[in-house]
Amino acid sequence: MNDRCDTRRRRVLQSLMAGSAGCLALGLPRLTQAANAVTLPFENGLRELTTAFPQKGEMLLLRSRPPLLETPFSVFDEGVFTPNDRFFVRWHLASIPTRIDARSFRMKVRGSVSRELDLSLDDLSRKFERVEIAAVNQCAGNSRGFFRPRVAGGEWANGAMGNAVWTGVRLRDILDRAGVKPGAVQVRFNGLDTGVIADTPDFVKTLSVDHARDGEVMVAFAMNGKPLPLLNGYPLRLVVPGWYSTYWMKMLDDIEVIDAPDTNFWMAKAYQIPDTPHADVSPGQTNVKTIPIGAMVPRSFFTNLGDGAVLDLNRTQIVRGIAFGGNAGVREVLFSHDNGTSWTPARLGRDFGKYSFRRWESQFSPRQGGQYVLKVKATNTEGIVQPDTPNWNAGGYMRNVVEQLNVFAA
């Protein structure tokens, strides 16, 4: 390390208390103002911890406007549901209303319907049956920072996901009240946010009529028993259990039934994945057919140990974490303490429904000093298993691999 870097390093360390910040990461200009920071385990992984956002506790700051806030991973060890004030935040467009009047707010249902609706929040809570579902909301780009070779986009670690109990009404019941006309094929969702310049394509997403009417997709007004935080979509958001959260439209105020497939930017250009198993291609591969991203796949994580943890020799070590099945329940979680040579089924925690996080726990006793490679692997009730090697695609979507940790016994 050269002198200049060393001086800079010392100065930043004094103001940051970020013990392991490397020289490379110090080029970021805003760092000297940061009060506190952590380093995620990939290139340019230095992140400020912020408490500056309304209704949010301490979050990892990826970008302020429009906000990208990641959940610090230790939060997932605290319980199976992610507290509202630690739930990740992701917006595409910079003009987001900062105050919404609950009394004058209306959600429209229009397009290929027999009668248009203009629903107040009061209408939604009084005129429709109320339903609840526990479901994981995971960004399509969760874990993008781990992609090798690196890809463009929000460089999330594993915290662009969260699990909540969502309360609201079935989208099917709303659509049935409006009366979807024969010949309608899709339902398009829009929220109150817009771009700053007129050319920015408005963020809209679309589901097939059949999916929209499956009885599970819902318009939610509460999360973990409380109104949605503004940044998570107050007053209404779409919940699409088992699907990536790009479809979970926030500040939802417009539902349009359409009779031709949607060709808008956010469906036809953005959020496209290769039409291959695990959305996996080789870097540089061309002429791959792409499709809009859809259902999630199973994942599992360690939550009580971090990479590099030091364990006591000959003492029973509890290992635990969370798993989810993607678009199905968790059938099995396997734990390995020997780099995948042997696997033991983990004990599964309480089942909150097939779309929820599920806690898992196992244990082992290190009998020899040195390094151990711990692995965890989930299989869902459809028999889909996490792959041993990570998938790759240019969008950095749908990251999935058997997770591993290097720990030391001494």
Smaller CB separation from Mo ion, 119 or 296: 296
Least separation in angstroms between CB 146 and Mo ion: 16
| Residues 306-335, mask of contacts with Mo ion (x by CB under 5 A) | ------------------------------
Q: Which does 151 bind (CB under 5 to 8 A by kind): Mo ion, ligand MTE, none?
A: none
Rounded distance, CA 306 to CA 310, Å?
A: 9
Q: Interface residues for Mo ion in 84-103 (CB under 5 A)?
A: 90
DSSP letter string over 356-371? S-EEEEEEE---SSEE
Smaller CB separation from ligand MTE, 15 or 95: 95
| Residues 185-214, mask of contacts with ligand MTE (x by CB under 6 A) | ------x-x---------x-----------
Q: Which two tokens mark 2?
A: 């050269």
| By CB under 6 A, residue 272 contacts ligand MTE | no
258: three-class secondary structure by DSSP: strand
| By CB under 6 A, residue 170 contacts ligand MTE | no
Among the listed ranges 30-38, 248-256, 262-270, 351-359, the one in contact with ligand MTE (CB under 6 A) is 248-256
Q: Which does 50 bind (CB under 5 to 8 A by kind): ligand MTE, Mo ion, none?
A: none
Q: Which does 372 bind (CB under 5 to 8 A by kind): ligand MTE, Mo ion, none?
A: none
- Phi and psi (nearest 5°) for 9? -60, -45
Least separation in angstroms between CB 168 and ligand MTE: 14
The identity of residue 160, as a single letter, is A
Long-range contacts (CB closer than 8 Å, 24 or more residues apart) made by 146-151: 146/42, 146/390, 146/399, 147/390, 147/392, 147/396, 147/399, 148/390, 148/392, 149/283, 149/392, 150/42, 150/43, 151/393, 151/394, 151/395, 151/396
Q: Which does 12 bind (CB under 5 to 8 A by kind): ligand MTE, Mo ion, none?
A: none
Least separation in angstroms between CB 271 and Mo ion: 8
Among the listed ranges 68-76, 83-91, 225-233, 293-301, the one in contact with Mo ion (CB under 5 A) is 83-91
- Phi and psi (nearest 5°) for 173? -65, -35
Number of Cβ within 10 Å of residue 225's Cβ equals 11
260: three-class secondary structure by DSSP: coil
Q: Interface residues for Mo ion in 234-263 (CB under 5 A)?
A: 246
| Residues 218-237, mask of contacts with ligand MTE (x by CB under 6 A) | --------------xx----
Rounded distance, CA 346 to CA 336, Å?
A: 10
| By CB under 6 A, residue 71 contacts ligand MTE | no
Among 47, 188, 213, 250, contact with ligand MTE (rule: CB under 6 A): 250
Q: In 22-95, which residue ranges form alpha helices assigned H by DSSP?
A: none
The answer to whether 240 touches 187, Cβ cutoff 8 Å, is no
Number of residues that bind ligand MTE (CB under 6 A): 20
The Cα angle at residue 229 between residues 204 and 187, in degrees rounded to 5: 25
Q: Which does 251 bind (CB under 5 to 8 A by kind): ligand MTE, Mo ion, none?
A: ligand MTE
Q: Which two tokens mark 42?
A: 């990939």
| By CB under 6 A, residue 139 contacts ligand MTE | yes
Strands, sheet with 46-50, edge to edge from the N-terminal-most edge strand: 37-39, 46-50, 59-63, 68-70, 89-90
Q: Interface residues for ligand MTE in 73-102 (CB under 6 A)?
A: 87-93
Q: Indicate the helix (H) or strand (E) that contains 210.
A: helix 209-212
Among the listed ranges 245-253, 282-290, 319-327, 342-350, the one in contact with ligand MTE (CB under 6 A) is 245-253
| By CB under 5 A, residue 139 contacts Mo ion | yes
What contacts 199, CB < 8 A, 6 or more positions away? none
Strands 370-380 and 403-409: antiparallel
Strands 218-223 and 237-239: antiparallel
Smaller CB separation from ligand MTE, 159 or 366: 159
| By CB under 6 A, residue 245 contacts ligand MTE | yes
Q: Which does 324 bind (CB under 5 to 8 A by kind): Mo ion, ligand MTE, none?
A: none
List residues near ligand MTE by CB under 6 A.
Answer: 87-93, 137, 139, 191, 193, 203, 232-233, 245-246, 248-251
List residues near Mo ion by CB under 5 A.
Answer: 90, 139-140, 246
